[in-house]
Structure 1
Amino acid sequence: MNRFGLTSILMFLGSVAFFYITRGPNANTLLAVCILATLSVAGIIFAILSKKLPYIIIGVTLNCLPLVFSMLLFLAWAISEP
């Protein structure tokens, strides 16, 4: 197995776990957006560094999902602020 490809998949699993740990009415939304975006970008970078096509496709696809979700969460947070 490729070390960077596996790390990319673990970044996705870490971002999903972080989302389920920090959800709720008292969650800090801006902190969640920053951490989700950081984990997703790191996962995409690790997927590209793996240099193997299956890991690139799986890693980029999986890590784009939390990245898009975090951007939508940031947009919702920005709209709700007075």
Structure 2
Amino acid sequence: MNKFGVLSILMVLISVLMFFILRGPNADLPLIIIILGSLSLLGIIFAVISKKWLSGVIGVLSNGAVLVCVFFILLAYGIAG
């Protein structure tokens, strides 16, 4: 696993950590959507750049899961707002 594969997995860990830090009843949802979405897209880009099969698949799938969660947060924000 090269440095881009490690960065891709690191983006997932940072996204999960930021989600737990920024959550709460008075959470700023647009800020959460921007931060998690950008970290997830960076993680997918790093996974594609890594050109290693295993780190690419793990990086794309895990960052894709974070991106799906961001989509659900965006959907909930649109329904509630």
Q: Give the TM bin, normalised by the shorter chain.
A: over 0.9
Q: Once the two structures are superposed, what CA deviation does each residue of 1:22-73 show, in whole Å capped at 9, x if it has no partner?
A: 1100110111011100000000000000001001100001101110000110
- 2:51 is equivalent to residue 51 of structure 1: yes
SS in 1 for 2:10: helix
1:79 Cα offset (Å): 1.0
Unmatched runs of 5 consecutive residues or more in structure 1: none
Equivalent in the alignment of 1:63: 63
Q: The residue matched to 1:26 in structure 2 has which SS?
A: coil
- Separation (CA, whole Å) in 2 of partners of 1:29 and 1:41: 18
Gap regions ≥5 residues in structure 2: none
> Please, what is the CA RMSD of the aligned residues?
0.6
Identity of aligned residues (%): 49
Q: AA paired with 1:32?
A: I
TM-score by length of 2: 0.97
